[in-house]
Structure 1
Amino acid sequence: MAITLTNEQQDFVAAIRDFCARECGTREQRDALDSRQHPHNAEIYKKMADLGWLGVAIPEEHGGSGGGLVDLCLFLEETARGMAPIGGFGVTMIVAGTYERFGTPEQKDRILGGIATGTLEAIAMSEPESGSDVGSLKCKAVREGDEYVINGQKTWISEAHLSEHILLVCRTDGSGAKHEGISMIEVPADAPGVDIRRIETMGGEVVNDVFFTDVRVPVENVLGQEGNGWMQLMSGLNVERLIIAALALGMAERAFDDLLAYVKEREQFGRPIGSFQALRHRIADLATELECCRLLTYDVAQQVDANPGAMFPREASMAKLKCTEVAKAVTLEGMQMMGGYGYATEYDMELHVRRSLVMTILGGTSEVQREIIGKTYGL
């Protein structure tokens, strides 16, 4: 399926590029925003909210502009390519999709409306002993009257330290199989008994450990049906994997842009290094891989928009797998071709490398994606 953008979508892309060039287009601007250590900047995020962009894929009745996944992918790709410090947006939109599918009218108005105006949201799945095997989670919510009492730990929770709420995936019934008795419960990030501790990583301040000690929330904070959390998680995989694919695509494109500029300017042996066949052919291969990623991502996004109730486990996993692996390859090749300068903080390539490495892990590792794809072929 060809990528055909409407005039409105083309104008949207142009506006995002212009915004990123004005607000964070130079290294000096990004350093002033401290975006290397803090990938999410509240000031830039508020400006985008005021422009109405954060509601790009939120229904109009909840304060958004009612766009689909193609529109969301365009925004994610271009902001990642422009290095806009809005690191909390991706996970927020993963949460938004869950509320849109399973929330009550009140929950949708409150959460989706808040997201459109600039609030951040987090989702908590992983635990110290439960990563790829989410079904083995142990964090518990026990009902006492009109409340749940929550105890347990979550880890690697993106942007919990900046979020309004944490959508907790926990166990409300331990009597059945491991994928049964799992529920989604909305927990205010500042609720008594919630302890958020940031985890230091080479990507800056992004992820957190979150401890729940006798945290009490009302029963109406359940999202969807109690005990149906596993199926609710599975229904959101199209959105989650496309969000990560689009972010990885934009990241890879920016690394490629930076690399291309460097090999055209850097001279050795009396001519630009990009004119040597050893580098020129590698550049050609990377450009071809990026084009494949873009076609795959938007083909899947168009299919999901055309069939919003359908699951695309093979296609969505392929997009996530391909884009994240290519992003890693582009950045590592970029560092290699730039030599010592690729390793120096003077240039952004080392930052691109650090940020790309985790993309093949978060949201389901590349190994998990390959397992899913293989199973769709009956293997």
Structure 2
Amino acid sequence: MPRVLTDEQRDFVAAIGEFCKRECGTKEQRDKLTANGQEQHSRELYAKMAELGWLGIGIPEEYGGAGRGMTDLCLFLEETSYWRAPISGFATTIIAAAAYEKFATEQQKRVVLEGVVGGRVEAISMSEPGAGSDVGALSCRADRTDGGYLINGQKTWCSNAHLADHVLLIARSSREDSKHRGLTQFMVPTNADGLQIKGIDTMGGREVNDLYFTDCFLPDSAVVGTPGQAWTQLMTGLNLERMLLAAMMLGLARRAFDDTLDHVKQREQFGRPIGSFQALKHRIADMATELECARLLLDDVAATIDAAPDEVFARETSMAKLKCTELAKHITLEGMQMMGGYGYATEYGMESLHRASIVSTVYGGTSEIQRDIIGKTYGL
């Protein structure tokens, strides 16, 4: 089914494809940009995208951005993900930037939002060793002191902190009758005294980090928004986070499908292409149908958000995130199965697509959490 895009959007997607094909279209190019796959973000490639103005797509025009909506952001992430562009820092940067745009002081906005347009990376830190899905259980402390706060505690699974200029930290500044109260957001320079960033080795390479705070002093001017109200502030960003992650995985799933389709058309056994056998032909048909369903869902939710950007669409965005991430995991695994030994070999890339898809059902709220959210919207 043809995608309904404006001429401007169609040209935008085509330009992204042409750029990525030229700059990172081969495994050899991507290996060079990512230290043989160990790094998920290339500053070199990111700087080139900044020069083209793409990194400011979701940033307001007064800060140098394009001021575009959810649909265009999703198109950008879907297409760059399809081409496997190593720009993992973009999603966390835009998620953090949206919080600054809504709640930060003008000075904070100038520093962060203009930096984003220029190619700077930002990070956001919520998870702790004892608080993952249960964000309200955070215990990293922000104790009031003269002229500011002292931060003590550990955060974990912080994506791209090692690349970022700042970490948008959520810490507990007070104990209230509700665990969701007393949380405050802080703008923390990654070179702040008392902050140690230590990488966590993963099957995806260098991507996430532990953060250790030891009497890290932050002035009052580091507070983002209203002290004690971080939970409410975080809830306003759920549309964006879930949709960006869904778009990334839709692009990855499309790539896995196309690579699988190419293989089953070319690979011959028993005197004919293996895709001509019913066992594989029907699996391809099912994958294609599910991809189309996911795309239609994502496009529809993005358009709905663009029509009412101040509303929170908890059910719809959770559905999009759940569908696209689970589908990416399924299609990449099916691709490995249908490609046989080639799917397992690093030379052909399907195994790396599968590794990238697995964590998508965990970060940004696990699939189980998304299902729980959806169920609650039906009164369950």
2:236 is the alignment partner of 1:228? no
Deviates more, 1:102-111 or 1:286-295: 102-111
Question: CA offset at residue 331 of structure 1?
Answer: 0.3
Q: How does 1:147-162 map to 2 (within 5 A)?
A: 147-162=148-163
3-state secondary structure, aligned to 1:138 = coil
List gaps (5 residues or longer) in structure 1.
none
Q: What residue is the counterpart of 2:312 in the other structure? A: 311
Cα distance in 1 for residues equivalent to 2:148 and 2:338? 58
Cα distance in 2 for residues equivalent to 1:54 and 1:233? 22
3-state secondary structure, aligned to 2:151 = strand
Q: What residue is the counterpart of 1:256 in the other structure? A: 257
Deviates more, 1:141-150 or 1:180-189: 141-150
Question: CA offset at residue 108 of structure 1?
Answer: 1.5
Cα distance in 2 for residues equivalent to 1:3 and 1:32? 34
Cα distance in 2 for residues equivalent to 1:163 and 1:329? 32
TM superposition score normalised by structure 1: 0.98
Contact 1:127 1:155 (8 Å CA) reproduced: yes
Please list the CA deviations of residues 312-370 of structure 1 after superposition, one character each: whole Å capped at 9, or x if unmatched: 00000000000000000000000011111111112100000100000000000000000
Cα distance in 2 for residues equivalent to 1:279 and 1:175? 57
Contact 1:20 1:84 (8 Å CA) reproduced: yes
Deviates more, 1:237-246 or 1:173-182: 173-182
Aligned residues: CA RMSD: 1.0
Contact 2:33 2:44 (8 Å CA) reproduced: no
AA aligned opposite 1:5: L
3-state secondary structure, aligned to 2:58 = coil
3-state secondary structure, aligned to 1:197 = strand
Cα distance in 2 for residues equivalent to 1:113 and 1:276? 54
Contact 1:3 1:299 (8 Å CA) reproduced: no
Cα distance in 2 for residues equivalent to 1:268 and 1:108? 59
3-state secondary structure, aligned to 2:143 = strand
3-state secondary structure, aligned to 2:207 = coil
Q: What residue is the counterpart of 1:326 in the other structure? A: 327
Question: CA offset at residue 152 of structure 1?
Answer: 0.5
Cα distance in 2 for residues equivalent to 1:73 and 1:116? 17
AA aligned opposite 1:257: D
Cα distance in 2 for residues equivalent to 1:142 and 1:5? 50
Question: CA offset at residue 3 of structure 1?
Answer: 5.2
Contact 1:165 1:187 (8 Å CA) reproduced: yes
Question: CA offset at residue 217 of structure 1?
Answer: 1.2
Please list the CA deviations of residues 91-133 of structure 1 after superposition, one character each: whole Å capped at 9, or x if unmatched: 1111011111112222212111100110000000000000000
Please list the CA deviations of residues 149-198 of structure 1 after superposition, one character each: whole Å capped at 9, or x if unmatched: 10010000000001000000000001432111001011100101110010
Q: What residue is the counterpart of 2:184 in the other structure? A: 183
Question: CA offset at residue 214 of structure 1?
Answer: 0.5
Cα distance in 2 for residues equivalent to 1:31 and 1:175? 49
3-state secondary structure, aligned to 1:209 = strand
Cα distance in 1 for residues equivalent to 2:269 and 2:210? 48
Cα distance in 1 for residues equivalent to 2:206 and 2:232? 31
Cα distance in 2 for residues equivalent to 1:285 and 1:100? 41
Q: What residue is the counterpart of 1:23 in the other structure? A: 23
Cα distance in 2 for residues equivalent to 1:56 and 1:32? 27
Question: CA offset at residue 73 of structure 1?
Answer: 0.3
Cα distance in 1 for residues equivalent to 2:134 and 2:33? 37
Cα distance in 2 for residues equivalent to 1:370 and 1:195? 35
Instruction: Give the % identical residues.
Output: 61
Cα distance in 2 for residues equivalent to 1:185 and 1:86? 25
Q: What residue is the counterpart of 1:346 in the other structure? A: 347
Q: What residue is the counterpart of 1:4 in the other structure? A: 4
Q: How does 1:128-143 map to 2 (within 5 A)?
A: 128-143=129-144
3-state secondary structure, aligned to 2:368 = helix
Question: CA offset at residue 257 of structure 1?
Answer: 1.2
Cα distance in 1 for residues equivalent to 2:30 and 2:137? 41
3-state secondary structure, aligned to 2:205 = coil
Contact 1:127 1:154 (8 Å CA) reproduced: yes
Question: CA offset at residue 147 of structure 1?
Answer: 1.4
Cα distance in 2 for residues equivalent to 1:161 and 1:223? 21
Cα distance in 1 for residues equivalent to 2:367 and 2:297? 16
AA aligned opposite 2:15: A
Cα distance in 2 for residues equivalent to 1:101 and 1:3? 31
TM superposition score normalised by structure 2: 0.98
Q: What residue is the counterpart of 2:203 in the other structure? A: 202
Q: What residue is the counterpart of 2:167 in the other structure? A: 166
3-state secondary structure, aligned to 2:171 = strand
AA aligned opposite 1:11: D
Please list the CA deviations of residues 241-300 of structure 1 after superposition, one character each: whole Å capped at 9, or x if unmatched: 001000010111111111111111111011111111110110111111111111111111
Across the two proteins, how many residue pairs are aligned to each other? 378
Q: What residue is the counterpart of 1:51 in the other structure? A: 52
Q: What residue is the counterpart of 2:291 in the other structure? A: 290
Contact 1:36 1:351 (8 Å CA) reproduced: no
Deviates more, 1:49-58 or 1:2-11: 2-11
Q: What residue is the counterpart of 1:74 in the other structure? A: 75
List gaps (5 residues or longer) in structure 2.
none
